[in-house]
Amino acid sequence: MRKISDSTVRRLALYLRFLEQSAAQNLATISSAELAQRGGTTSAQVRKDLSFFGSFGKRGLGYSVPELSARIREILGLKRTHRVVLVGAGKMGGALLHYRGFRQHGFDVVAVYDKDPKKIGTRSNGLMVRDVRQLEADLRKEPTDIAILVTPAEAAQEVTDRLIRAGVKAILNFAPVPLAVPSDVAVQSVNMALELETLSYALANR
């Protein structure tokens, strides 16, 4: 299959959200216009996005909700549950542990780590905070593809290197620094201040 762009992947994930809601409302079909509105794009873009993956829509009838949902889940690798480890049990890490959206969408946070002795052994959302020194041993026993990194900036690269040596292939990075990773490891960074800066630009250039 052709490699699709990051922005297309994001739109597919948005379409999927809307398809899931439509399924919950027992809707059988959905139009490209409805998907476009939800994905913040145009009907033409929706048709283009979906045409990558073969023919779905029937002219005048729209897309079959169950069929398109299943296909997008397959494309995004969401037909299985993903195990996730979280490193950094501070306020943001704790908030992410309680974030229900992860499990709802098939991401199961199975372990949380910190290096602070005051945090290790405490419980958060049903998980006991483990000593980050156990990371490699744990991941050997329980291989995990995805890590959520919520450490301070100073610790981020070292923890990243350890995660990668232990076999992690994808990192969701909340630390406010860019991470150096090999080309076979995927990183998505969430940088809250940067999001505000793009809003500041929008305010300054209205």
Q: Are 146 and 162 in contact (CB under 8 A)?
A: no
Provide the minimum distance between the beta carbon of 70 and a second copy in the complex, in angstroms, as a whole number: 14
Closest to a second copy by CB, 95 vs 128, is 95
Using the rule CB under 8 A, which residue among 141, 176, 181, 182 binds a second copy?
176
* Alpha-carbon torsion, ordered 134, 132, 160, 83, to 10 deg: 70
Q: Are 80 and 106 in contact (CB under 8 A)?
A: yes
Q: CB of residue 76 vs a second copy: minimum separation in angstroms?
A: 5
Binding string, 119-148, against a second copy, x = CB under 8 A? --------------------------xx--
**Nearest residue (CB) to a second copy, 59 versus 206:** 206
CA distances from 55 to 52, 62, 144, 175 (A): 9, 11, 34, 41
Q: Are 61 and 68 in contact (CB under 8 A)?
A: no
- Is residue 105 close enough to count as binding a second copy by CB under 8 A? yes
Select the span of 1-9, 24-32, 41-49, 155-163 touching a second copy (CB under 8 A).
1-9
